[in-house]
Amino acid sequence: MKKTTFTLLVSLCCAASVVQARDIYVAPSGNDAGGAGTVGSPYATVQKAVSVAVAGDVVHLRAGTYGGNITVNKPNLTIRSYAGERAVISSSATNSSVQQTIWFTATRGKLLDLELVGGYYYAVKFETGSAVVKGCKIHDSGRDCIKIVPGADDVTIQQCEIYNSGQRDPSNAEGIDNVNADRMLVQDCYIHDIATYGLYPKGGAIGCVIERCLVTNCGSGGIMLGGYTDDEFFDPVQNPGWYENIDGTVRNCIVVNTQGGGVALYAALRPRVYNNTLVNVAASSHAGIVSDFSVPRGGQPFHYQPDSHQQHCDTAGQQLTPDYRLPQWRAGHHYGQQQPLPRRGRGRRVSGQRGELHPGGLENPPCRRCGQHRGRPRLDGNLSLSQW
């Protein structure tokens, strides 16, 4: 009897929780004071909807532009455009009292199918993790378009267009700036016209994956695993070697027109770089792929695990021998007349036959150990760069 009563109470509590979750509606024509948050009687501002929401609620924004400076302090809250419409949340990039357009201080937040503009520092900032940003346009931020702080783990960014960072301060303005947040996934995004680096997980970030992204027109580098992070942002207990990036992966991406390296690895432990295409990168510094072997702050040398299919070529098509201190490479390609790559690696050039030339003049060098050719975004599906 006691077991049956307990089960019934748990079921009633769960049912009550489900009932509380609801849809809340916001429209430019709404009313915060007299509205009910329904389709027929919507609120006028996003912050009003957030203030009355509870965990699990979904805030639907009708088409139009809404003011930013929004703080989401309720867990598991979704903010999205109304089905079939597109809403914009915008704030000034020059008003220091509005540091970000939208700020998540609670976990499991979701932004879906929105346009997010401005912010003195950031368009979107995650103070906590387990969040999703999908189908959004994020642009014209004062500095970084998206900021992820230490401990805001498990942020997923999918199918987004991210551009025009650094409208106020272009000296330090990434598309996505992740400092010591683990397991970030950036997937199927178009990141372009970025003042500095397209994106990076650094500061000891673990297990981050960047895949199937197109990154173009960056004032510094394209995709970075690691960087240069102040000591205060590291977790020396979790990361006693003080590595900037651990077990990061960059795969099936295209990087075009960067002033610095197309893909760069700074103080990265066990990085994996597979099947990427680099076009006109390293125009003024670095190299197509940069491997920085500086000793990390902990004073221990890096230990890279070699890939059984490791293979890479410089711009002249010369193959490079594996060096077992190098990160894992798989066949990608680097177009343009920049410096040979990797510039800072310890591999040595060897003579030997060039890779096989495929239609369109794209060289796809085989692995010297297994003889297999690796696919790349430019070749897979026979798509052109613009089509991809």
Lowest mean pLDDT among 9-13, 20-24, 108-112: 9-13
- pLDDT confidence bin for 94, thresholds 50/70/90: very high
In tens, the pLDDT along 308-356 reads: 232 333 333 333 333 333 455 454 555 554 333 333 333 222 222 222 2
Q: Beta-strand (E) ranges in 47-194? A: 58-61, 64-67, 70-72, 78-81, 87-90, 100-104, 110-112, 114-117, 122-126, 132-134, 137-139, 146-148, 156-158, 161-163, 176-179, 185-187, 190-194
pLDDT at position 386 = 53
pLDDT at position 292 = 75
pLDDT at position 239 = 93
Distances, alpha carbon 77 to alpha carbons 56, 62, 132, 219, 351, in Å: 5, 17, 11, 35, 58
pLDDT at position 291 = 84
Highest mean pLDDT among 97-111, 260-274, 356-370: 97-111
**Cα maximum dimension of the chain:** 81
For residues 149 and 136, what is the distance between their CA atoms, to the nearest angstrom? 20
Q: With 90 as the cut, is the pLDDT of residue 133 above it?
A: yes
- pLDDT confidence bin for 218, thresholds 50/70/90: very high
Lowest mean pLDDT among 59-63, 77-81, 196-200, 267-271: 267-271
In tens, the pLDDT along 178-196 reads: 999 999 999 999 999 999 9
pLDDT at position 179 = 98
- Give the DSSP H/E element, type plus range, for residue 273: strand 272-274
Other Cβ atoms less than 10 A from the Cβ of 18: the count is 9
pLDDT at position 304 = 39
Q: How far is C-alpha 71 from the chain's CA centre?
A: 21
CB–CB of 40/60 below 8 Å?
no
Phi and psi torsions of 243, nearest 5°: -75, 145
For residues 122 and 161, what is the distance between their CA atoms, to the nearest angstrom? 15
Q: In what side-by-side order are the strands of the sheet with 245-246?
A: 205-206, 245-246, 268-269
Numbers of helices and strands, H then E, in the chain: 2, 35
pLDDT at position 319 = 36
pLDDT at position 333 = 53
Question: Among candidates 291, 162, 277, which has minimal Cα distance to 218?
Answer: 162
- pLDDT confidence bin for 20, thresholds 50/70/90: low
Phi and psi torsions of 111, nearest 5°: -120, 120
Which DSSP state fits 283? S
SS3 10: helix
In tens, the pLDDT along 228-247 reads: 898 899 999 999 988 999 99
For residues 207 and 198, what is the distance between their CA atoms, to the nearest angstrom? 19
pLDDT at position 19 = 53
